Structure 1
Amino acid sequence: MTERFFLYNDYQDTKTRFVSFMGNQSRMDLAIVVTDRFYGKKLVLDMQSSRFAIIGHDDLEEEGYLEHVFRLSDEEAEELRSFLYEVI
């Protein structure tokens, strides 16, 4: 067996918020992970769709980003965006 080559292999203390809310279009079940690893951005996991993204304010302002990453309709993405502006 060959020796494994790690690009990095470290541990981080994280803070995770689990939140579930019902919008007008759909229910969202999220885990929001805060760590020093992502330069102030947060790791947002959609536990229903098994999709995730590293998100900061700049990503929330990028047109079509949430729709693409989480495969949401425009209306669903706007509800998620509105919530994430409050917590990111």
Structure 2
Amino acid sequence: MILFEKLYDEHEKVKVRFVGFTSKDNRYDFGIVYTNMFFGKPLVICMQTGRSTLLDPKDAENHEYLQQIFRIDTEEQAADLAEFFSAVLPFTSVHPEYEY
């Protein structure tokens, strides 16, 4: 009996970047997995909480989303993260039919 239908099973050598930094109020530690999967959006993992998301610079402009996904307390902290992510995340050209 087949319990699962495999959707994909890809192997890929990827670039991973670990970066830690501080802002005025907080310390941040992230792992960023640069991959060709997921429409080219990097997988960003908060090393402190284990929370992760697929993120590109356009997504990082959404401060409310950053606050929610990484449990950030203030708009100012989310703006700090947005500035950081805009510098380290590559621009992806997602096909319009896949945008949400």
TM-score (norm 2): 0.78
* Distance across 2 between alignment mates of 1:60 and 1:47: 18
| Unaligned runs of at least 5 residues, structure 2 | 90-100
| Unaligned runs of at least 5 residues, structure 1 | none
Match of 1:52?
A: 52
Report the AA paired with residue 23 of structure 1: S
Give the 3 Å change call, closer, same or farther, for CA 10–38 of structure 1 in structure 2: same
Give the ranges of 4+ consecutive aligned residues of structure 1 lying more than 4 Å apart after TM superposition. Answer: none
TM-score (norm 1): 0.88
Aligned residues: percent identity?
A: 36
The answer on whether the counterparts of 1:25 and 1:75 sit within 8 Å (CA) in structure 2 is no
1:39 is paired with a residue whose SS is: helix
Deviations 1:36-75 (A, max 9, x none): 0022321110010110110012211224110111110222
Report the AA paired with residue 71 of structure 1: R
How many aligned positions are there?
87
What value does the CA root-mean-square deviation take over the aligned residues? Answer: 1.3
